[in-house]
Structure 1
Amino acid sequence: MNRHRHALAAFTVACALTVLASPALTLQATAAPLPSPPPLPEKSLEEVRLEIDGLYREAATATDAYNLAEERAKRQSGEIVRLARMIENGRKRIEGLKAQAGAAARAQYRNGGLPEGAQLVLTNDPQLFLDNAGRLQEGQKATKDLISDLTRTQDELTTYAKEAGDNWTKLEAGRVKQAQAKKEINDKIEAAKKLESKLAADELARLRALELREQNRAQTAWLGSGILAGLSDRTSPEAKRAVEFATAQIGKPYVWGAEGPNSYDCSGLTQSAWIAAGRTIPRTSQEQWRLLPHIDIKDMRPGDLIIYFHDASHVGMYVGDGRIVHAPRPGRDVTITGAGTMDILGVVRPG
């Protein structure tokens, strides 16, 4: 009987061990299923609009950095070419001076190797002495002038070579900055396009309506401040020509880095317009803000440039009646809009 109870107990333990060792039950006992994560909240269309706007703003800032590096590269390349010409002219000048020195040495050799001073002392002819004395003084002055000219030219060559080397170093550094800015611009634009591509056609239409509503709200608030009171539409002939040029570009696409004639970025448009009016101004909106005379907004007149945002990353040309012509951003064309639709930093006057 005892033997039977022991066998039954042993069988029961074995069954229990088998069940516990079962993979399905082991997994069930040790890894209970995790609850599904809650779905991420979808962004509102207004949030998408602000994000897209921010990306294009960042692209505009990078575009200014690219344009500035491009402008400096052009100047440095031109300076390197100018210095190379001066170096070449200096080398030719040195060759000519060396030829003069060689001619003087050959003349001395033909005189028996005696310098003119020694020949002067050995002469017995008083008249010849007086004649040679004058020529000796002239010759000594010419020799000093020759040596001085040769030394000065060699010093200039050394300076030109150093300046050319410095400009080449700056040019290479500028190219690195250009490449970095170009990558940042493309990355920001692609990110903005990716956000827009996720929207359905009706959402894109609503997004555009939201943009227009926000612009109208900002423009209405700006006009409501009485900003146009006392403003005159009278302007200079040069500014009138600049406005005529800028408004003639309406409908042409925005392309970052473009200066026309088929496309523009914001500062490429304003610079081209003022060049057409006979006045050269800086290439970028940030440089236009930094270098052109600042005008109080109450004195603004057509042709003046309105600089936008705290980093001066956008610019438009005031055309009167509270409006600007500008190249807005990638995917948009040159257009006229309210001057108060964006955050105004200040106003500058090219001329």
Structure 2
Amino acid sequence: MGPDKHDVRAGGRRGILTAAVTVVCAATVLAAPGTAFAAPSPTPSPSSSPSASVTLPPDKDLEAVQEKLDDLYHDAAVATDAYNAAEEAAEKQSAEIVDLAKKIVKGQQKLDGLKARAGRAAAAQYRTGGLPDSAKLLLSDNPSQFLDGAGRVLQGERATKGLISELTQTQQDLKQYAADAADQWNRLEAGRRAKAAAKKKITQRIAAAEKLQSTLEKKQKQRLAELEREAAYKAQTAWLDTGILDEIHSKASAAGGKAVAFATAQIGKPYVWGAEGPDSYDCSGLTSQAWASAGRPIPRTSQEQWKQLKHVDVKDMRPGDLIIYFDDASHVAMYVGDGAIIQAPRPGRTVSIGGAGTMPILGVVRPDA
């Protein structure tokens, strides 16, 4: 059974998740409802720190930088979802092509056998052809034997009709298999192009973000990090101040507990776009593998997780459920209880604990509904 609000606050089961939550709380990401916002200590000014090599620009300028970075990483996340979807589709299409190829080979073998049977039947009919049945009856020394033979001929005619029907159906099946294989191949090629385009966009956006960050001085980077923590703190505090945790009391299911345990064990591993473990993950790679480890395979991408899995109200969510973020469902994290999530955030970050309300919530889905 995975942790929930009451488990986290109760003595006993602590472990790595509790330790991680404690660290995050200390960093003011998980704020208690009603706690006043307290910004981190201000960066010393150049006058109070003679060794400072740069005069910090106004916060509004760094906030503009942060907004640009957020946009770039968001675009990269959307492209990553597209890349993962194309990769997943390619795997299915490749498997379908292999399956169709096997059907074509098997169907061709069947068709060859049917043609051979039809050829033997035609040869036998040719050898016994010529006279009509009435003449054969008149010329027969044993009319009774002839009539028995005529019955067998009738059975043979019926069998021949069945053979022709089966042969025709097999030919139609082969034609359809070939058409399906061609269609899957065309889709596979289109998917490869989409995957290549998505990869190009991902690398471009990440490179642009890294280039922008590289232009900042050390103190600017530190202040930028502070601004990011402040924004996360404010968002989480506002979310908790709604009283949402007073409504969330559900405990994890057995499968949900396993998924949470898996995700918790990945804390500290780096974010890598397109990665599904075991050494690195992207956001949906983490959630999909966590639930696969719990015996419940789910869609690979955050957008498909949002489309295909059962939606539940935020107040009804329980540890193991997935929170989908942003209007385009471009990010996903796992709820672990007490207002916290485990997520693979973005390039340059690691799998970590965060506040569930630090990003705009689109909705919550339950893999084991």
TM-score by length of structure 2 reads: 0.80
- The one-letter code matched in structure 2 to 1:204 is K
Distance 1:335 1:117 in 2: 89
Distance 1:119 1:293 in 2: 76
- Closer/same/farther in 2, CA of residues 60 and 123 from structure 1, 3 Å limit: same
- Closer/same/farther in 2, CA of residues 318 and 118 from structure 1, 3 Å limit: farther
Q: Match of 1:85?
A: 102
C-alpha offsets along residues 166-225 of structure 1, whole Å, 9 cap, x if unaligned? 111111111111111111111100000001111122222222122111111111110111
Cα drift, residue 275 of structure 1: 1.0
8 Å contact from structure 1 (residues 108, 114) kept in 2? no
Q: Match of 1:230?
A: 247
Q: Match of 1:23?
A: none
Cα drift, residue 108 of structure 1: 3.6
Q: Match of 2:9?
A: none
SS at match of 1:44: helix
What's the % identity of the aligned pairs? Answer: 60
Q: Match of 2:344?
A: 327
Cα drift, residue 119 of structure 1: 8.5
Distance 2:365 2:295 in 1: 17
Please tell me whether residue 127 in structure 1 is matched to residue 127 in structure 2: no
SS at match of 2:246: coil
Structure 1 counterpart of 2:169, from 126, 148, 152? 152
Cα drift, residue 113 of structure 1: 4.7
8 Å contact from structure 2 (residues 83, 199) kept in 1? yes
Please tell me whether residue 105 in structure 1 is matched to residue 122 in structure 2: yes
Cα drift, residue 117 of structure 1: 5.3
Please tell me whether residue 63 in structure 1 is matched to residue 84 in structure 2: no
8 Å contact from structure 2 (residues 262, 290) kept in 1? yes
Matches within 5 A, 1:135-146: 135-146=152-163
C-alpha offsets along residues 25-47 of structure 1, whole Å, 9 cap, x if unaligned? xxxxxxxxxxxxxxxx9872221
- The one-letter code matched in structure 1 to 2:305 is Q
- Closer/same/farther in 2, CA of residues 232 and 99 from structure 1, 3 Å limit: same
Cα drift, residue 112 of structure 1: 5.1
Distance 2:273 2:133 in 1: 74
8 Å contact from structure 1 (residues 120, 133) kept in 2? no
Identify unmatched segments of 5+ residues in structure 2: 1-56
C-alpha offsets along residues 247-277 of structure 1, whole Å, 9 cap, x if unaligned? 1111111110111111111011111111111
SS at match of 2:318: coil
Distance 2:311 2:304 in 1: 12
Larger Rg: 1 or 2?
A: 1
8 Å contact from structure 1 (residues 252, 334) kept in 2? yes
Structure 2 counterpart of 1:267, from 284, 290, 301? 284
C-alpha offsets along residues 128-179 of structure 1, whole Å, 9 cap, x if unaligned? 1232123112201110110000000000111111111111111111111111
Greater length-normalized contact order (CA 8 Å, ≥ 6 residues apart): 2
Please tell me whether residue 298 in structure 1 is matched to residue 283 in structure 2: no
Structure 1 counterpart of 2:111, from 81, 89, 94? 94
Q: Match of 1:5?
A: none
Distance 1:119 1:244 in 2: 87
8 Å contact from structure 1 (residues 97, 146) kept in 2? yes
- Closer/same/farther in 2, CA of residues 127 and 242 from structure 1, 3 Å limit: same
Matches within 5 A, 1:168-207: 168-207=185-224
Q: Match of 2:181?
A: 164
8 Å contact from structure 1 (residues 266, 328) kept in 2? yes
Q: Match of 1:20?
A: none
Say how many residue pairs are matched.
Answer: 310
Cα drift, residue 77 of structure 1: 1.1
SS at match of 1:73: helix
- The one-letter code matched in structure 1 to 2:260 is V
Q: Match of 1:239?
A: 256
SS at match of 1:213: helix
Runs of 4+ in 1 over 2 A off after TM superposition: 105-109, 111-124
Q: Match of 1:45?
A: 62
C-alpha offsets along residues 5-43 of structure 1, whole Å, 9 cap, x if unaligned? xxxxxxxxxxxxxxxxxxxxxxxxxxxxxxxxxxxx987
8 Å contact from structure 2 (residues 306, 324) kept in 1? yes
Distance 2:128 2:244 in 1: 92
Structure 1 counterpart of 2:325, from 298, 308, 313? 308
Identify unmatched segments of 5+ residues in structure 1: 1-40
Structure (1 or 2) with the greater helix fraction: 1
